[in-house]
C-alpha cells in the first residue's frame, strides 16, 4: 500500500473492543481481546478484515499469544485459567488451571510446552501441549510478574516483575543465580532469546543482563513525564531485538537498543494501552480508545520506520522563534528568538542541541547562512550584524547604524553582500568582506519594512515596503521595480529558478509575481488571517505557507492549487511573525517555528493531497466518502475513489 512508508498504515475496527493484541508467527493473523471482556477477535491482515471471534468465557482476558507453529492461540484470564484455541476453527482445544491471575504466557522454543506465571504469588506452571497435563511447578516469589520467557535452548525460564528478574532451571525447578533487583518499573519485556530484559519507566529504559545481574545500559527519555512517573503500560522488543517499543498515556515511545538512544515517538490520538510487533518487524499493532478524530476504539497499524515524521527539537519548547534557517548542507538548523541571547543550533538529523557559536550578549532577531555554510549572519537587537565562522566559532561584528535594532538579515548567494532592515524601517546593503555600507535604500518609514530576500542569481534584492514589493538591482544599485500588493508584506520567497517571487500578506493572501515582467501571475487566498511566512521547496514544485490561523499549508506555485495542509499543536491566535518556516535542502523536511518550540516535519510529501488520498484509503480500507475526506483533509477538494 502507498501509505506503508508513513506512520499510521490503517485502523481495524470490528464488533468487539480491544485490550490485548498478538500476531501469528506468519504475520497473517492478528488476535485481539476486548477490554474488559472475554471475547477474542481474529483478523486477516491481508484483507484488513475481522474473520472470526471466540467467546473465551473468563471474566477478562489478560494475555494472549500464539504457539510457535501458529496452530494454538493461548489466552489467559483473570479467572486463573488459560484457554487454548484453534485460530483457524475457533474450537476450544483445552483449559489449563493456573490458580491465580496471570499476565504472562510463554511457549517453549521446541513448541512442546506452555508456561504461565501467577501474577500474585509468582509460581510458574508448565504444561505439555500434547497431553495438556502439568509437567512442572516452580515456586516463585511475590514480584507481581508481568513478563515470562524461555531461554533460546529451553533449559532456563525467567520471570520479571516489579521487584526482580528471576531465573530457574526448567528440568529441576531450582533457581539460578543471580537475582536481578529492579525498582518498580512501569513495564518489563524480554528480548527474543531472554538474554536481555528492558525495564521501562517514564524517565527511560534500563537494559539488564539476567545472566550476570548487571545493568548494561540506561537510555534516558529526553522528555520524561515527571508528573506521572509510572504510566508505562507495556513494552515489547522487535523481532530482531534492535528496537524497543513502550506505551504510555497515548504515546508509543521507541528506543534503539543497538544505538542506546531514544527515537522519535509515534503519537496516536488517545488511550493506547497495548502493542505488538509483527513477525517481520514492519508493523506495530496498538490498541486505543480513539486512534482517529471522532473514532471509537480500534487497532492501529503503525510503520515504525515512519516514527520521525515529526519531532520537536530538544530544548526548543521555550523558544518562540523569530527566525530559523537550515545550513546549505542540511546538517544544522539555526534559530533566533527574543527569549534568549545569541544563536541556538540543532543537529537536524538527531534533533540534539549543537554547541553555540561563541559567547553572545545580545538578542538575535534573524539568521541566514552563506551558500557554502561557512558563515552564519545574525541580526542583533543592538543594531549589529554578526558574522560567525561556523567551523571556528569566531565572529566579526558590523555596526549597521540602526541603533534601534537590526530586524532582518540576508546574504547574497555569492556571499559578497549582506542586506539588513532596521526597526526604524531602514534598508541597508553592505559589502561583507570590508563591512562597509554600499547603499541605503528607499522605504516608507518606521515599521514599513519587515522582510527581504535576494534572488537566486544575486542580481536582485526584494524587500517589502508597506503594501508593495520593491526590487533593487545589486549591479546598477537602482530600484528596478515596485509591485503593488494587497496589504502589508509579511514574507518574501524567490523560487529556486528565480522565475517567481512569492509575497505573503497581512490579508491572508499570497501573490506570485514574475520578477522579469513585473506582472502578477497568481493570487492565492491562503489563510484565515495573516500569512506569517512562506518558503519554496528546493525543487520549486511546492510552496509552503504559515498563517496566523495556526496552520501550515502546501500549494502548487504554478496553478495555485492546494496540495495539502499540516495540522499539529499550533495556536489559532498568534501574534504577527511568530510562525516561521524553512525547507531543508533535501526538500523532504520542513522546519516550523511554533509558539511552543521548533518542530521538524519529515517526509513533508505525506501532507500532500496525493499521498494523503492514498493514506486515507489505507486507513479506511474502502472508498472515501465526502464526509470522510473532509474529516481527514478539511479544505482540500475531495477524491472519492480508492485503488
Q: What is the pLDDT of residue 622?
A: 45
Q: What is the pLDDT of residue 331?
A: 86
Highest mean pLDDT among 32-41, 507-516, 567-576: 507-516
Average pLDDT over residues 363-371: 91
**CA-to-CA distance for 8 and 531, rounded, in angstroms?**
30
Q: What is the pLDDT of residue 581?
A: 87
Could you tell me which residue, 7 or 273, shows the higher pLDDT?
Answer: 273
Handedness of CA 589, 585, 346, 593 (dihedral sign): negative
- How confident is the model over 197-209, as pLDDT tens digits? 999 987 889 999 9
- Percentage of the chain beyond pLDDT 70 is 79
Assess whether pLDDT exceeds 60 at residue 604.
yes
pTM recorded for the entire structure: 0.56
**CA-to-CA distance for 69 and 189, rounded, in angstroms?**
22
Q: What are 261-266's contacts with CB under 8 Å, separation 24+?
A: 261/219, 262/204, 262/219, 262/220, 262/221, 262/222, 263/307, 263/308, 264/307, 264/308, 264/309, 264/310, 264/311, 264/351, 265/307, 265/311, 266/7, 266/302, 266/304, 266/307
When pLDDT is cut at 50, 70 and 90, the band that residue 458 belongs to is: very high
Q: What is the pLDDT of residue 269?
A: 46
* Strand order, beta sheet including 562-566: 531-536, 543-547, 552-555, 562-566
- How confident is the model over 89-145, as pLDDT tens digits? 888 999 999 888 888 999 999 999 999 998 888 899 999 999 999 999 998 776 668
**CA-to-CA distance for 406 and 535, rounded, in angstroms?**
22
Q: Which of these ranges, 127-136, 529-538, 545-554, has the smallest mean pLDDT? A: 545-554
- Domain 2-309: state its class: mainly beta
Give the closest residue to 198 by CA, choosing from 155, 242, 138.
Answer: 242
Give the closest residue to 412 by CA, choosing from 382, 370, 467.
Answer: 370
Highest mean pLDDT among 23-37, 564-578, 598-612: 23-37
Q: Over 465-518, what HEC string results?
A: ECCEEEEEECCCCCEEEEEECCCCEEEEEECCCCCCEEEEECCCEEEEECCCCC
Assess whether pLDDT exceeds 50 at residue 6.
no
**CA-to-CA distance for 238 and 1, rounded, in angstroms?**
22
- Percentage of the chain beyond pLDDT 90 is 40
Count of alpha carbons within 13 angstroms of residue 144, beta-carbon side: 9
**CA-to-CA distance for 192 and 316, rounded, in angstroms?**
37
Question: Cα 270 vs. chain centroid, distance in angstroms?
Answer: 16
Domain boundaries, the chain: 2-309, 312-602
Give the closest residue to 237 by CA, choosing from 266, 258, 217.
Answer: 258
Assess whether pLDDT exceeds 80 at residue 383.
yes
When pLDDT is cut at 50, 70 and 90, the band that residue 22 belongs to is: very high
164: cell is 526482580
Note the residue count of the chain.
Answer: 643
Q: Which of these ranges, 37-46, 247-256, 602-611, has the smallest mean pLDDT? A: 602-611
Q: Decide if 146 contacts 103 (C-beta within 8 A).
A: yes
Assess whether pLDDT exceeds 90 at residue 231.
no
Assess whether pLDDT exceeds 60 at residue 44.
yes
Assess whether pLDDT exceeds 60 at residue 639.
no
Could you tell me which residue, 323 or 617, shows the higher pLDDT?
Answer: 323
Q: Decide if 158 contacts 190 (C-beta within 8 A).
A: yes
What does R_g of the chain's alpha carbons equal in angstroms?
A: 30
Coarse DSSP helix, strand, coil percentages of the chain, rounded to the nearest 5 percent: 5, 45, 50
DSSP single-letter state for residue 615: H
Q: What is the pLDDT of residue 286?
A: 84
Handedness of CA 421, 574, 586, 351 (dihedral sign): positive
Q: Decide if 485 contacts 511 (C-beta within 8 A).
A: yes
Assess whether pLDDT exceeds 90 at residue 410.
yes
When pLDDT is cut at 50, 70 and 90, the band that residue 635 belongs to is: low
Q: Which of these ranges, 39-53, 260-274, 475-489, 582-596, has the smallest mean pLDDT? A: 260-274
Could you tell me which residue, 46 or 412, shows the higher pLDDT?
Answer: 412
When pLDDT is cut at 50, 70 and 90, the band that residue 568 belongs to is: very low
Q: Decide if 48 contacts 10 (C-beta within 8 A).
A: yes
Assess whether pLDDT exceeds 70 at residue 578.
no
Question: Cα 290 vs. chain centroid, distance in angstroms?
Answer: 18
* Range 312-602 has CATH code 2.130.10.10: yes
444: cell is 516608507
Could you tell me which residue, 447 or 293, shows the higher pLDDT?
Answer: 447
119: cell is 501474577
Assess whether pLDDT exceeds 80 at residue 369.
yes
Assess whether pLDDT exceeds 70 at residue 66.
yes
Q: Decide if 207 contacts 215 (C-beta within 8 A).
A: yes
Average pLDDT over residues 245-274: 76
4: cell is 506503508
Q: Which of these ranges, 229-233, 320-324, 391-395, 400-404, has the smallest mean pLDDT? A: 229-233
Q: Which residues pair with 522 in a beta bridge?
A: 512
Assess whether pLDDT exceeds 90 at residue 174.
yes
Q: What is the pLDDT of residue 140?
A: 77
Question: b/e for 209-238, b at 16 or more Cβ within 10 A?
Answer: ebbeeeeeeebebeeebeeeeebbbbbbbb
Q: In which residue are the cell numbers 497431553 written?
A: 131
**CA-to-CA distance for 93 and 346, rounded, in angstroms?**
57
Could you tell me which residue, 398 or 297, shows the higher pLDDT?
Answer: 398
Q: What is the pLDDT of residue 288?
A: 63
Mean pLDDT taken over the chain: 81
Q: Decide if 429 contacts 418 (C-beta within 8 A).
A: yes
Q: What is the pLDDT of residue 311?
A: 61
Highest mean pLDDT among 344-353, 395-404, 512-521, 626-635: 512-521
Amino acid at each position: 500500500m502507498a501509505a506503508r512508508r508513513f506512520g499510521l498504515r490503517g485502523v481495524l475496527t470490528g464488533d468487539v473492543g480491544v485490550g490485548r493484541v498478538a500476531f501469528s508467527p506468519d504475520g497473517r493473523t492478528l488476535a485481539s481481546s476486548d477490554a474488559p471482556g472475554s471475547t477474542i477477535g481474529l483478523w486477516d491482515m491481508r484483507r484488513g478484515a475481522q474473520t472470526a471471534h471466540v467467546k473465551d468465557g473468563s471474566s477478562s482476558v489478560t494475555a494472549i499469544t500464539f504457539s510457535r507453529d501458529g496452530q494454538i492461540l493461548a489466552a489467559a484470564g483473570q479467572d486463573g485459567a488459560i484457554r487454548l484455541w484453534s485460530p483457524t476453527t475457533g474450537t476450544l482445544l483445552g483449559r489449563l488451571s493456573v490458580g491465580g491471575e496471570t499476565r504472562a504466557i510463554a511457549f517453549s522454543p521446541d513448541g512442546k510446552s506452555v508456561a504461565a506465571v501467577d501474577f500474585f504469588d509468582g509460581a510458574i506452571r508448565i504444561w505439555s501441549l500434547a497431553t495438556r497435563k502439568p509437567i512442572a511447578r516452580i515456586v516463585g516469589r511475590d514480584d507481581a510478574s508481568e513478563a515470562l520467557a524461555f531461554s533460546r535452548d529451553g533449559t532456563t525460564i525467567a520471570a520479571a516483575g516489579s521487584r526482580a528478574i528471576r531465573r530457574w532451571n526448567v528440568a529441576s525447578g531450582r533457581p539460578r543465580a543471580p537475582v536481578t533487583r529492579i525498582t518498580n518499573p512501569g513495564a518489563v519485556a524480554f528480548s527474543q532469546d531472554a538474554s536481555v530484559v528492558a525495564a521501562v519507566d517514564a524517565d527511560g529504559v534500563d537494559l539488564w543482563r539476567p545472566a550476570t545481574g548487571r545493568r548494561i545500559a540506561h537510555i534516558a527519555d529526553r522528555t520524561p513525564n515527571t508528573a506521572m512517573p509510572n504510566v508505562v503500560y507495556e513494552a515489547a522488543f522487535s523481532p530482531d531485538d534492535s528496537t524497543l517499543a513502550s506505551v504510555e498515556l497515548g504515546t508509543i515511545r521507541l528506543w534503539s537498543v543497538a544505538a542506546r538512544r531514544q527515537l522519535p515517538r509515534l503519537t496516536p490520538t488517545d488511550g493506547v494501552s497495548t502493542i505488538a510487533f509483527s513477525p517481520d518487524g514492519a508493523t506495530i499493532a496498538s490498541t486505543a480508545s480513539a486512534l482517529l478524530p471522532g473514532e471509537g476504539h480500534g487497532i492501529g497499524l503503525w510503520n515504525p520506520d515512519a516514527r520521525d515524521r515529526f519531532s520537536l527539537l530538544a530544548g526548543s519548547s521555550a523558544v518562540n522563534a523569530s527566525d530559523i534557517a537550515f545550513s546549505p548542507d542540511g546538517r544544522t538548523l539555526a534559530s533566533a528568538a527574543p527569549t534568549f541571547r545569541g544563536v541556538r543550533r540543532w543537529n537536524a538529523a538527531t534533533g540534539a542541541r549543537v554547541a553555540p557559536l561563541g559567547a553572545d550578549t545580545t538578542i538575535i532577531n534573524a539568521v541566514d547562512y552563506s551558500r557554502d555554510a561557512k558563515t552564519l549572519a545574525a541580526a542583533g537587537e543592538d543594531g549589529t550584524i554578526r558574522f560567525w565562522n561556523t567551523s571556528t566559532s569566531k565572529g566579526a561584528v558590523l555596526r549597521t547604524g540602526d541603533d534601534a535594532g537590526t530586524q532582518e538579515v540576508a546574504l547574497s548567494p555569492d556571499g559578497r553582500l549582506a542586506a539588513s532592515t532596521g526597526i526604524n524601517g531602514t534598508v541597508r546593503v553592505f559589502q561583507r568582506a570590508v563591512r562597509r555600507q554600499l547603499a541605503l535604500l528607499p522605504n516608507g518609514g518606521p515599521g514599513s519594512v519587515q522582510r527581504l530576500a535576494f534572488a537566486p542569481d544575486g542580481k536582485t534584492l526584494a524587500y517589502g515596503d508597506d503594501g508593495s514589493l520593491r526590487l533593487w538591482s545589486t549591479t546598477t544599485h537602482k530600484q528596478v521595480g515596485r509591485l503593488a500588493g494587497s496589504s502589508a508584506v509579511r514574507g518574501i520567497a524567490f523560487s529556486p529558478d528565480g522565475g517567481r517571487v512569492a509575497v505573503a500578506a497581512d490579508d491572508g493572501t499570497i501573490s506570485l509575481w514574475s520578477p522579469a515582467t513585473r506582472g502578477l501571475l497568481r493570487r492565492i487566498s491562503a489563510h484565515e488571517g495573516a500569512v506569517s511566512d512562506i518558503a519554496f521547496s528546493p525543487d520549486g514544485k511546492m510552496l509552503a505557507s504559515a498563517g496566523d490561523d495556526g496552520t501550515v499549508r502546501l500549494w502548487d506555485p504554478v496553478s495555485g492549487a492546494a496540495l495539502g495542509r499540516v495540522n499539529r499543536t499550533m495556536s489559532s491566535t498568534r501574534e504577527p511573525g511568530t510562525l516561521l518556516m524553512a525547507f531543508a535542502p533535501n526538500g523532504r523536511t520542513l522546519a516550523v517555528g511554533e509558539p511552543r518550540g521548533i518542530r521538524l516535519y519529515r517526509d513533508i510529501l505525506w501532507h500532500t493531497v496525493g499521498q494523503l488520498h492514498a493514506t486515507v484509503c489505507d486507513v479506511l480500507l474502502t472508498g472515501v466518502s465526502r464526509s470522510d475526506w473532509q474529516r481527514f483533509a478539511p479544505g482540500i477538494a475531495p477524491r472519492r475513489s480508492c485503488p
